Structure 1
Amino acid sequence: MCGICCTVSLTAEIFKPYFLDYTNLQRRGPDSSHQLLETDCTYKYSCFFSGHVLHLRGQLTPQPLKDRNGNIFLWNGEVFGGVEVQDTSNDTRVMFEHITSCDSEHDILSLISKVQGPWAFIYYQKEKHNLWFGRDFFGRRSLLWGFGDNPEVALCLASALESSSLTDVKQWHEVPASGIFKFNLSTSAELKSIHLTHFLWMSATEEEQLEKGQSFLTVENQKYPAKITYEEGMLIAPITPLNKKIPELLSKSNPPALSNSVSLEDLKMLMSELHRENTESFIKVLSAAVKKRVSCLPKVTNLLTSKGKLANVAILFSGGIDSMMLAALADRNLPAEEPIDLLNVAFMMRHNANVKKLQKKPGPVSQHQDDGVAHKDFNPFDVPDRITGRLGWKELKSLNPGRIWNFVEIDVTHNELEQMRELHISQLVQPLNTVLDDSIGCAIWFASRGIGMLKCNGEKKPYTSTSKVVLTGIGADEQLAGYSRHRLKFIREGYKGLLDELSIELGRISSRNLGRDDRVIGDHGKEARFPFLDEDVVSFLNSLPLWDKTDLSLPRGLGEKLILRMAAVMIGLGSSSVLPKRAIQFGSRIAKMENRNEKASDKCSRLQPDIAQRHTFKANFSP
């Protein structure tokens, strides 16, 4: 994982490097930092490249890479398939060798179509004066772009914003994950305007392209000072299209009568009536995806103490079905002696409000015993995700008692939240700016930082996760109808409405979630990895009829993500298999900490909205 950026100037004047402050990019890539200036005297343009490397694979390879022909390459990604990369090789160098050997546009597009895994790249093709750039099909790696209002700063591309990047570029957006772009520098320099060719993923529908952000690229709405040519059918999407067959409900056997409270026994009873073969295949393909993401990592050694090995893999962990599956499958694919960090975040609850709530509504949560301390003594960090996290931790210890499971309790006070939001998080979440982005961005930033407390021999001690890789369960809800909006759609419009909703989910995940999450997690010099968005996992789930994956006629905690719940039972998990979906902003209680009457979609004043609302620019640089 890396921090990459490139600034393009379309002027003959002496070029000034604009990203002088590389703080956020260096935090993403702490192992190597280099810059490179490329100037073309014939066409009067300049490109300034900066690369910051987090070393995870093969030999440390500083970026940007430059060959003897003047081609320059920046790569922020992981190759997990499609292009062969040996365990001891570095994928940046492998991809550079492949892309510089391409003789034509078709060859470059064919190469990009093959790559499986998360990526964002910038490639300067010197002989043809082209600057290629883009993000993978799902948008799992962040890449932002902004256009200046003068030729000296025509275009800026960056993994994350820097405070100094806000001077000459007034508006930033995420590069749409709807294809890759070619920027012809010679033509643009001559005409003093930006000319882009946008190569679209072939299998994506018009609705999916719009969700990925193509609507922001039209010349008519003047969002960007760019003239764009669209080329369809040039990139082959790396996944199987969604199976949209509508089930014949009458051909299905009626589900057995279930009690009002869903239990593990209800799920086990359903398993006998559904296709076990599909569930077994799902376990196999998801386990393979996890294995790719936890293997061949540089080992973290403990040089200061003799207390044993440190964790190389961490999981954003709530104790819910998604994170429990990732933990259980990571356990299957890691050496027995290697610890796994379970990162569990909680935001401080207000004492008076919590006591009043517990007095009004006693129940399983309020009666929960925390190692002998009753809830009447009030622990402000006993949020819902902390409670389910502890229960999930116990399940995992029962599943494999020999594994060291580090349950890291990450407690966040209001003062620390405000401080870190101002210092780091607000810039990382940009250009997104809603209340929801603030809540999720802050929760993931603190969780992935991995600084908390670990219980050892009955007492808690400070602990900092050493893992450079963080697994996250995003993608499960989008594919398996895990959100409340999916159930509402199903109630209103049945299977067709639900299929229509699911058909665009992965199209909008790049702009709604993944770029933001990559920037937030990467800020700690760690890499986010998304097993549920592995190309083989998505293709397998897309190939199944809807009713083999989810059944929203069943209650919450059972019907949504049904195949995942059955898989959890089959690999030995227990009560976590029937926990209903709970979003991180509610489970961690960050949504309650601010104590404001806000809607999730409202613009968030805490995320410096003045940056996002500055004026747009003219579509041409000429006087």
Structure 2
Amino acid sequence: MCGICCVASLSVQHTIGRVFKEDLLCNLRRRGPDCSQQQIKTISDLSYQCLFSGHVLHLRGLMTPQPLTDINNNVFLWNGEVFNGIHVGLVENDTQVMFHHLSSCSNESDILSLFSLVRGPWSFIYYQASKHYLWFGRDYFGRRSLLWQFNNDLDRALCLSSVSALSESDNQWQEVPASGIYRVDLKACAISQSLVLTLYPWKYHTKENAIEETFLSGRDQISKELPSYVSLTMNDSKLSLITPVVPLNRTVPETSVDTHCPNITNSTVTVDDLHGFLAEEHKKKLVHQLIDVLSEAVKRRVLYLFRDADQHTGEILSKPTKKAHIAVLFSGGIDSMLIAALADRHIPLEEPIDLLNVAFMIKEQTKQSNQKKNLELHSCQECFKKLDTTPVDNLTCFNVPDRITGRAGLKELETINPSRTWNFVEINVTLEELKRMRQQHISYLVYPLDTVLDDSIGCAVWFASRGEGFITTQGDLKPYKSSAKIVLTGIGADEQLAGYSRHRVCFKKYGLEGLNKELGMELGRISSRNLGRDDRIIGDHGKEARFPFLDEDVVSFLNSLPVSEKADLTLPRGIGEKLLLRLAAKEVGLKASTVLPKRAMQFGSRIAKMEKSNEKASDKCSRLQSV
């Protein structure tokens, strides 16, 4: 994880620092606390100048300060992880490896081929000195944040940054669309005094070796959101990046799917109901294929990490560590439970795993509301009545649904591996602290998103990933702050396996064809709807978000399956949605959590409706806009 920033001005008449403000520098440094530096390049004869600012969170190989430069005056800023596709040695730093490859590229095609190979999350900025080109972009899913701001006051300045800051002008920040990578010819733009962005889009390779456009309307949509003095054009050579995943399988079976569990009803969903599905050989084969590909994705994300090594040699020290390097955003639901169980397979046994569980204080409510709340909490407890997980009496105002299922999930994980130290971190947030931290930090991280839903999820993820709370040690609740620099999150599971309630609505109205269309749309918009925001939020703590469900191999496997193999929405909640994932969880040893219905983080943590009870998720959030 890094904070990267570049300001390119088509003039040398103004100080470029007028765009690069101190609060922006501060926000970038929070993302990269281990090393910060910047440099200014002025090309006086061509009348443009660039400032590059890099802030590094050290995670792999030897410490590599950014921005990187070479003897040819190329400059590179990298906020990413190469998990596959490009070889990175055990003691190598992927920033240095990527820059070495880029410096060897002789043309546009070479650069596009390089980024087409990379497997893992990334955003980057690359100044190609010989061509006066500025390249930048985000990975296919947009798992790393990159924003742009266009400043007409300073002779057509372009600012690119991992995170924004308060803008004193009308020049608003926007997320760089994850539609491909972009190129600016600074020399040509300086001469014409106009900003022209050239897009190299993502495209699919089909089996027939033809290329199919994946963002047919992307160009028009991007252009609509640009200022009038900025234009977007497709590259003349028709070059593109090749998508790292296969297209979505939209096959619909001609006959109804045999559920193997015809007697399941809403009132009788149990773990035993999953047995019937696993008795079918084809279904069990798919389940084990999912376990294998997801386990490998988790393995990459928990092992590609600097662990108590000698800084100079990279040699791993033999002394066992008691410090947690990996944390999981943990609700006790199916997604976080499976990630935690698979992480346990690959993380050294002597190393604790932090389970970050956030709860917002339950405010005083009417008698009727309290009765409804108690019924829901009782329902959660009933799911786990065999696990002896009655909530502790103290701090009952934080016994929200996710806290109850989280404690129950902890018991399951302790049963799977009693030798592991599982740090269940109870993160309790009061209304006063929520308001204070939103004003000081969270509002600028959620921005440019601005809805009630963005506020709720942004605040919940910020407090959870901060990792400050309590753990129970020998029966006592003690203060604890997570030391983990890596935070695993389950985002991407619902979008691919029909986990949301809106998927049921869509299925009832339009059948499997409509559901296919909805799932395709979900994955297509995940960069703008979720991932940039979550990357900014988690990165603010000097930590890196990693998304196992959005590993390219995982997505390709799930995309290759017809939707009928991934979910069966004719079955009740708690089993029909994400059915394939529930079966995988049962096969790895999980029990009660495998049939928990989907509960969104904003409801499970009780942040939703905490301050206002009459808001809709899609409404603009006044609390974000008033800061």
Report TM bin, short chain: over 0.9
Q: Secondary structure at the match of 2:397?
A: coil
State the alpha-carbon separation in 1 of the partners of residues 376 and 602 from structure 2: 22
Q: Verify the 8 A CA contact 2:204 2:213 in the aligned structure 1.
A: no
Q: Aligned letter for 2:584?
A: A
State the alpha-carbon separation in 2 of the partners of residues 318 and 108 from structure 1: 41
State the alpha-carbon separation in 2 of the partners of residues 410 and 31 from structure 1: 26
Q: Aligned letter for 1:263?
A: T
State the alpha-carbon separation in 2 of the partners of residues 372 and 112 from structure 1: 50
Partner of 2:492: 475
State the alpha-carbon separation in 2 of the partners of residues 108 and 462 from structure 1: 49
* TM-score normalised according to structure 2 size: 0.92
State the alpha-carbon separation in 2 of the partners of residues 591 and 444 from structure 1: 13
Give deviations 1:412-455, integer Å, cap 9, x for gaps: 00000000000000000000001000000000000000000000
Partner of 1:107: 110
Q: Verify the 8 A CA contact 1:217 1:224 in the aligned structure 2.
A: no
Q: Verify the 8 A CA contact 2:391 2:399 in the aligned structure 1.
A: no
**Which moves more between the two structures, 274-283 or 56-65?**
274-283
Q: Does 1 or 2 have the higher relative contact order (CA < 8 Å, sep 6+)?
A: 1
Q: Secondary structure at the match of 1:74?
A: strand
Q: Secondary structure at the match of 1:289?
A: helix
- CA shift at 1:249, angstroms? 2.1
Partner of 1:13: 13
Partner of 1:284: 292
Distance 1:371 1:484, change over 3 A: closer
Q: Verify the 8 A CA contact 1:452 1:464 in the aligned structure 2.
A: yes
- CA shift at 1:299, angstroms? 2.7
State the alpha-carbon separation in 2 of the partners of residues 360 and 120 from structure 1: 43
Verify: 1:218 aligned to 2:209, yes or no.
no
- CA shift at 1:288, angstroms? 0.3
Query: Which of 309, 321, 336 is the matching residue for 1:323?
Result: 336
Partner of 2:150: 147
State the alpha-carbon separation in 2 of the partners of residues 11 and 355 from structure 1: 64
Q: Secondary structure at the match of 1:365?
A: helix
Partner of 1:187: 188
Q: Aligned letter for 2:272?
A: E
State the alpha-carbon separation in 2 of the partners of residues 224 and 452 from structure 1: 48
Count of aligned positions: 601
Q: Verify the 8 A CA contact 2:183 2:197 in the aligned structure 1.
A: yes
Partner of 1:227: 231
State the alpha-carbon separation in 1 of the partners of residues 43 and 169 from structure 2: 22
Give deviations 1:483-536, integer Å, cap 9, x for gaps: 111111100000100001111211100000000000000000000000000000
- CA shift at 1:14, angstroms? 4.4
- CA shift at 1:152, angstroms? 3.8
Verify: 1:132 aligned to 2:135, yes or no.
yes
Partner of 1:239: 245
Q: Which runs of 5+ in 2 are unaligned?
A: 206-210, 310-318
Q: Verify the 8 A CA contact 1:151 1:192 in the aligned structure 2.
A: no
**Which moves more between the two structures, 252-261 or 199-208?**
199-208
- CA shift at 1:167, angstroms? 3.0
State the alpha-carbon separation in 2 of the partners of residues 108 and 354 from structure 1: 63
State the alpha-carbon separation in 1 of the partners of residues 329 and 242 from structure 2: 32
State the alpha-carbon separation in 2 of the partners of residues 372 and 548 from structure 1: 36
State the alpha-carbon separation in 2 of the partners of residues 322 and 372 from structure 1: 22
Q: Aligned letter for 1:194?
A: L
Distance 1:357 1:464, change over 3 A: same
State the alpha-carbon separation in 2 of the partners of residues 530 and 58 from structure 1: 21
State the alpha-carbon separation in 1 of the partners of residues 389 and 302 from structure 2: 32
What is the root-mean-square deviation of aligned Cα atoms in Å?
2.3
Partner of 1:520: 537
State the alpha-carbon separation in 1 of the partners of residues 489 and 373 from structure 2: 35
Partner of 2:278: 271
Q: Secondary structure at the match of 1:202?
A: strand
Percent identity over the alignment is 57
State the alpha-carbon separation in 1 of the partners of residues 600 and 244 from structure 2: 29
Q: Secondary structure at the match of 1:311?
A: coil
Query: Which of 194, 197, 215 is the matching residue for 1:209?
Result: 215
Query: Which of 306, 309, 318 is the matching residue for 1:298?
Result: 306
Distance 1:332 1:13, change over 3 A: same
Distance 1:414 1:609, change over 3 A: closer
Q: Which runs of 5+ in 1 are unaligned?
A: 611-623
Distance 1:356 1:483, change over 3 A: closer
**Which moves more between the two structures, 306-315 or 599-608?**
306-315
Query: Which of 433, 436, 461 is the matching residue for 1:444?
Result: 461
Q: Verify the 8 A CA contact 1:149 1:169 in the aligned structure 2.
A: no
State the alpha-carbon separation in 1 of the partners of residues 7 and 373 from structure 2: 58
Verify: 1:198 aligned to 2:215, yes or no.
no
Q: Secondary structure at the match of 2:378?
A: coil
Q: Secondary structure at the match of 2:197?
A: strand
Give deviations 1:289-332, integer Å, cap 9, x for gaps: 0000000422369xxxx996010000000000000000000000
State the alpha-carbon separation in 1 of the partners of residues 404 and 275 from structure 2: 24
Q: Aligned letter for 1:318?
A: S
Aligned pairs for 1:375-454 within 5 A: 379-454=396-471
Q: Verify the 8 A CA contact 2:391 2:404 in the aligned structure 1.
A: no
Distance 1:51 1:372, change over 3 A: closer
Distance 1:122 1:254, change over 3 A: same
- CA shift at 1:361, angstroms? 5.9
Q: Aligned letter for 2:538?
A: I
Q: Verify the 8 A CA contact 1:216 1:223 in the aligned structure 2.
A: no
Partner of 1:358: 371
Distance 1:100 1:247, change over 3 A: same
- CA shift at 1:224, angstroms? 5.4
Query: Which of 442, 467, 472 is the matching residue for 1:455?
Result: 472
- CA shift at 1:371, angstroms? 7.0
State the alpha-carbon separation in 1 of the partners of residues 257 and 26 from structure 2: 60
Give deviations 1:541-600, integer Å, cap 9, x for gaps: 111121111111111110111110000000000010011110000000000211331111
State the alpha-carbon separation in 1 of the partners of residues 220 and 129 from structure 2: 30
Q: Aligned letter for 2:255?
A: L
Q: Verify the 8 A CA contact 2:356 2:424 in the aligned structure 1.
A: yes
State the alpha-carbon separation in 2 of the partners of residues 532 and 606 from structure 1: 31
State the alpha-carbon separation in 1 of the partners of residues 216 and 353 from structure 2: 39
- CA shift at 1:170, angstroms? 1.8
Verify: 1:60 aligned to 2:81, yes or no.
no
Q: Aligned letter for 1:217?
A: I
Query: Which of 312, 320, 324 is the matching residue for 1:311?
Result: 324
State the alpha-carbon separation in 1 of the partners of residues 369 and 116 from structure 2: 56
Q: Aligned letter for 1:266?
A: D
